Chains A and B, each alone.
Chain A
Amino acid sequence: MPKLTFKGGVHPKDNKDYTCYDKIVELEQPEFLVFPLSQHIGAPCEPLVKKGDRVYKGTKIADSAAFVSAPIHSSVSGTVTAIEPRPVPNGQMVNSIVIQNDFSDEEDPSVEPLDYKSVKPDDIPGIVRDAGVVGMGGATFPTHVKLSPAPDKKIDTVIVNGAECEPYLTSDHRVMLETPEELITGLKIILYRFGITNGHIAIEENKADAIELLTEKCAGEGITVDTLKKKYPQGGEKQLIYAVTKRKVPLGGLPADVGVVVVNVDTCTAIARRFMYGTPLIRRIVTLVGGAVTKPINYRVRIGTPVEYIIEKNGGFAEEPKKVIMGGPMMGQAQFRLDVPIIKGSSAILCLTEKEAELPEEEPCFRCGRCVAHCPMGLMPLYISQFSRLEDYDNCEKYNITACIECGCCSFECPAKRHLVQDIRRGKQEVMGRIKARQTAQKEGK
Chain B
Amino acid sequence: MENRLTVSSSPHIRGRETISDTMLDVVLALMPAAFASVYFFGQRALAVILVSVVSCVGFEALYELIARKKVTIKDYSAVVTGMLMAYTLPVTIPYPMIIIGAFVAIVITKQLFGGLGQNFMNPALIGRAFLLAAFPVHMTTWALDRVNVFGAADAITGATPLSTEYTGTMPSAFEAFFGQMKDGGAIGGCLGETCAAALLLGGIYLLARRVINLRIPLAYIVTVAVMSYIPGKNPALQGHPLLAVLSGGVMLGAIFMATDYATSPTTRWGQLIYGVGCGAVTSVIRLFGGYPEGVTYAILLMNVLTPLLDRWTRPRVFGEVKNK
Report B1-29 residues with CB < 8 Å from chain A CB. 1-2, 4-15, 17-19, 21-22
Mark each residue of chain A from 69 to 113: 1 if its CB lies under 8 Å from any CB of chain B, else 0.
Answer: 000000000000000000000010000000000000000000000
Contacts of B9 in A (CB 8 A): 334, 419, 421-422, 425
Q: Are A333 and B10 in contact (CB under 8 A)?
A: yes
In angstroms, Cα B15 to Cα A442, docked, is 44
Among A368, A415, A421, which residue has its beta carbon within 8 angstroms of that of B10? Answer: A421
Contact call B13/A167, Cβ cutoff below 8 A: yes
Q: Collect the chain B residues with CB atoms within 8 Å of residue A54's CB.
A: none
B307-324 to A contact mask, C-beta < 8 Å, 1/0? 000100011111111110
8 Å CB interface, A317-352 against B: 320-325, 329-338, 350, 352
B261 within 8 A of A: yes
B6 engages A323 (CB within 8 Å): yes
Chain B residues with a Cβ closer than 8 Å to the other chain, count: 44
Q: Is A382 an interface residue (CB 8 A)?
A: yes
Is A22 close to B, CB under 8 A?
A: no
Which chain B residues border A119 with CB–CB below 8 Å?
A: none
Q: Which of A248-267 contact B (CB under 8 A)?
A: 248-251, 253, 258
Which of A144-152, A186-194, A356-364 is found at the contact surface with chain B?
Answer: A356-364
Q: Is the CB of A335 within 8 A of B318?
A: no
| Nearest chain A residue, comparing its CB with the CB of B114 | A364
Taking the nearest CB of chain A, how far is it from the CB of B75, in angstroms?
Answer: 7
Asked whether B266 is an interface residue with its Cβ less than 8 Å from the other chain, the reply is: yes
Q: Size range of the interface on A?
A: 35 or more
Segment of B115-123, B126-134, B136-144, B145-153 in the binding face: B115-123
A369–B261 touching, CB < 8 Å: yes
Q: Which of A7, A250, A352, A415 contacts B12 (CB 8 A)?
A: A352
Stretch at the interface among A43-51, A197-205, A398-406: A398-406
A129–B75 alpha-carbon span in the complex (Å): 55
- Residues on the B chain within 8 Å of A411, using CB: 11, 14
A133 nearest CB across to chain B (Å): 25
- Cβ–Cβ contact A330 & B13, under 8 A: yes
Whether, in the assembled complex, B262 has its beta carbon less than 8 Å from a beta carbon of chain A, the answer is yes
Cβ of A248 and Cβ of B319 under 8 Å apart?
yes
Known contacts: A382-B266, A412-B13. The answer to whether A366 contacts B6 by CB under 8 A is no
Q: Report the separation of the CA atoms of residues A363 and B17 in the bound assembly, to the nearest whole angstrom.
A: 13
B34 to A: closest C-beta gap in Å:
23
Q: Is A376 an interface residue (CB 8 A)?
A: yes
Whether a CB of chain A sits under 8 angstroms from the CB of B77 is: yes
Query: Are the C-beta atoms of B117 and A415 separated by less than 8 Å?
Result: no
Given contacts A250-B323, A378-B316, A415-B17, contact A368 B261 (CB under 8 A): yes
Contacts of B13 in A (CB 8 A): 12, 167, 329-330, 356, 412
Question: Given A366-B262, A367-B117, A372-B266 in contact, is the A412-B319 Cβ separation under 8 Å?
Answer: no
Cβ of B234 < 8 Å from any Cβ of A?
no
Residue pair B10, A378 in contact (C-beta under 8 Å): no
Apart from the given pairs A368-B22, A406-B10, 12 other A-B contacts in the complex at a CB distance below 8 Å: A242-B318, A323-B6, A325-B10, A332-B10, A356-B13, A364-B115, A364-B117, A365-B117, A366-B77, A367-B117, A367-B262, A412-B15
A-B contact pairs, 30 of them (CB 8 A): A238-B319, A249-B319, A251-B318, A320-B1, A320-B4, A321-B5, A329-B11, A329-B13, A330-B10, A330-B11, A330-B13, A332-B10, A334-B9, A334-B10, A337-B5, A363-B116, A366-B77, A367-B262, A369-B266, A372-B266, A378-B316, A378-B320, A380-B315, A412-B13, A414-B14, A415-B15, A415-B18, A415-B19, A416-B117, A425-B9
Interchain residue pairs A-B with the least CB separation, the first 8 = A408-B11, A369-B266, A366-B117, A422-B9, A334-B7, A337-B2, A329-B13, A248-B319
